[in-house]
Amino acid sequence: GYDAWLGRRALTDKDQVSSLTDWASRIIAEESDECIRTAAYELTETITAWTGRRPDNAVPADGGGCLRIGTFQGCSEVASAFSEVEMSAVQADGFRLRRAGQSIIIAGSTGRGVLYGAFALLRLIKTGERLNELDELSNPANGLRLINEWDNVDGSIERGYAGRSIFYAEGEVVPDLSRVRDYARLLASVGINGIVVNNVNVHREETLFLSERYLPRIADMANVFRAYGIRLYLSINFAAPIEMGGLATADPLEEAVRTWWKDRVKEVYKWIPDFGGFLVKADSEFRPGPFTYGRDHADGANMLAEALAPYGGIVVWRCFVYNCKQDWRDRKTDRARAAYDHFTPLDGRFRDNVVLQVKNGPMDFQVREPVSPLFGAMPHTNMLIEFQVTQEYTGQQRHLCYLVPQWKEALDFDTHARGEGSTIKKVADGSLFGRPLGGFAAVSNVGDDANWTGHPLAQANLYGYGRLAWNPELAADRIAEEWIKQTFGDHDRVIKTLLAMLMSSWSLYESYTSPLGVGWMVKPNHHYGPDVDGYEYSMWGTYHFADCYGIGVDRSVRTGTGYASQYHRPHSERFESAETTPDELLLFFHHVPYTHRLHSGKTVIQHIYDSHFEGVKGSEALAEQWEGLKGLIDHDIFEQGRSRLQEQIEHAKEWRDVINTYFWRKSGIADEHGRTIY
């Protein structure tokens, strides 16, 4: 699984190989731009492996075809294949692919665009597209397409489920960066253009990443990523002026603090001239921030933004801010409200090179949550949507859970902030409110496991994230199919089976872990496995309030926390009443009796029982589907998948029995079908 979707096995389709012989025998790249060199290298190596013949770079004699790659400005042969209008339609990271006689042209307005074009061409070939009529224009919807690594310098990964860090070991950046380079390839192939290389929780040692102790090696990493068009960013510790600089304060309005940051930023750019900027988790889960000094998030972010602005750097400021020391007896404080309550009063106060990073939902990457109401609420502020590719709450890469359908649902949600059609994807890309910066960020799922992601099928989430960040209009099944074909080849049964498995997996996982939007019934700390009351009497603000009559959190305005009012109409009205709240979110918004009847016609309690029994059956069905692939896919991958799917079945049973037993004992209402509940 190491090659993931970029495997270079020889092509099996004879027609395809013969269609490559002419133009693919010569690759002409005349510019010295680093990304164009990378593009030429990737094309050369892949085509060589596919066809068994190494392309040369001799300019073809009259009539011969070639693969010509370059920018409109830097290569006249490329430019001459397009009209002015066609060229001007290509934005910074975009590209055009075109068949011109015997040749194929990959054109961009930047080297990075050319690199993306190269990967796109390889993808088209590998997914079986014919190139006779090739004429494709592609621009990314989002300017920022970031990946966040939650890696620590000791080699551990916060919420990592695929081994140790590929970046660090024993307090140092790893000496051999070849695996980092292979990761850069994977990321670039799906259009990622920025990477934050350390955990948002910046501990003592990583605070020093801004110092000469670490910068030389971080610069080495930046060099690796630069060749693949990816800018490097760092998570920083807001208290660094104290912890590293020896100042008495980190007050963002204090002159000495501002100067300290400016000096640090200058130093960083000395080492990394194209440094992307800082990611900041401040005043969140015990991390330091401006609140300590009576300042707000805008004060904090703007101070850093001012230091970065002269170099073109940005501040990515996270909105994951809530009271994590709540008293569970207090029914008024609602964690779901927190980000909106903290940030909306600051709308318009952030500098232009600040972008807020907002998790897709108001809580924390649960398998089911409503979307964050912040997306429709800050028209004068840049915003990124943050997803979690690593499966912290969605099976930790032991269970199969293809998350693209979940992300699509969030992106397609219509906030109604500017009337109908005000979807979250338009907030994220900046177009709805006319914002200069925007895009996607996501927490990565890779580690040093041979197959990168632990579960071999979890690679689809990394792939899908990148593809969606480039083009949120792509359908979840289309992305899955692309990924399957590139990873496993074009066997019809393999494609159909894996597609069905992936597409059913999110709702399957939901069915046995989180009925009707309730969430959080997991073991504290590591978050794997069922524990209905694990967080019920804790300080984290994550409750279900189940008693002998009913379950759910009342977030209505009339009788609850008022969270429902953070949405625009019609959603605020829809979520206000249990009658109009969609079933899958009922318990997120309302506390209802177990006998409450859902739109599906079932009672809440019967839904809980049924979905948990069905969840186990669904998991067994997944494993059976996988068995059908024996002999059709790589043996090792098959075995890896098989053992994970077995674990999923056993673990789904644990979920089923714990959840069903708990609610049967609480409610005293028997299962209509008399199945075994303990």
Catalytic residue numbers read 285, 364, 392
Tell which positions 182-211 bind ligand GCU, by CB under 6 A: 200-201
CB of 198 to ligand GCU, least distance (A): 12
Query: Three-state DSSP class for 244?
Result: coil
Q: What is the x/- site pattern for ligand GCU, positions 137-176, by CB under 6 A?
A: ---------------------xx-----------------
Could you say whether residue 510 binds ligand GCU (CB under 6 A)? no
Residue 555 and residue 225: Cα distance in Å, rounded? Answer: 45
Q: How many residues bind ligand GCU (CB under 6 A)?
A: 9
CB of 138 to ligand GCU, least distance (A): 31
- Based on CB atoms, which residue is closest to ligand GCU, 296 or 386? 386
Q: Which helix (H) or strand (E) holds 107?
A: strand 103-108
Could you say whether residue 538 binds ligand GCU (CB under 6 A)? no
Residue 609 and residue 568: Cα distance in Å, rounded? Answer: 34
Task: Tell me if 297 sits within 8 A of 289, measured CB to CB.
Answer: yes
CB of 364 to ligand GCU, least distance (A): 5
- Based on CB atoms, which residue is closest to ligand GCU, 285 or 327? 285
Q: Is cis: bond before 241, omega within 30 of 0?
A: no
Could you say whether residue 508 binds ligand GCU (CB under 6 A)? no
Q: List, in sequence order, the alpha helices (H) in 8-149.
A: 14-20, 34-51, 76-79, 84-88, 111-126
CB of 234 to ligand GCU, least distance (A): 16
Could you say whether residue 568 binds ligand GCU (CB under 6 A)? no
Task: Out of 364, 429, 554, 576, point to the residue binding ligand GCU (CB under 6 A).
Answer: 364
Residue 174 structure tokens: 């790893």
Residue in 666, 672, 542 with CA at minimum distance from that of residue 607: 672
Tell which positions 281-300 bind ligand GCU, by CB under 6 A: 281, 285
- Based on CB atoms, which residue is closest to ligand GCU, 396 or 423? 396
SS (H, E, C) 621-654: HHHHHHHCCCCCCCHHHHHHHHHHHHHHHHHHHH
Residue 621 and residue 512: Cα distance in Å, rounded? Answer: 14
The residue type found at 647 is E
Looking up tokens 């551990």 gives 156
Residue 441 structure tokens: 């960020």
Q: What is the x/- site pattern for ligand GCU, positions 308-327, by CB under 6 A?
A: ------------x-------
Q: Which helix (H) or strand (E) holds 293?
A: none
Looking up tokens 């090792």 gives 636
Task: Tell me if 382 sits within 8 A of 350, measured CB to CB.
Answer: yes
Ordered DSSP codes for 429-463: TSTTTT-S-EEEEEE----SSTTSSSSGGGHHHHH
- Based on CB atoms, which residue is closest to ligand GCU, 228 or 320? 320
Looking up tokens 């605020």 gives 572
Tell which positions 249-288 bind ligand GCU, by CB under 6 A: 281, 285
- Based on CB atoms, which residue is closest to ligand GCU, 201 or 223? 201
- Based on CB atoms, which residue is closest to ligand GCU, 68 or 281? 281
- Based on CB atoms, which residue is closest to ligand GCU, 157 or 210? 157
Tell which positions 436-455 bind ligand GCU, by CB under 6 A: none
Q: What is the x/- site pattern for ligand GCU, positions 386-425, by CB under 6 A?
A: ------x---------------------------------
Please report, as ranges, the residues that interact with ligand GCU according to CB under 6 A.
158-159, 200-201, 281, 285, 320, 364, 392
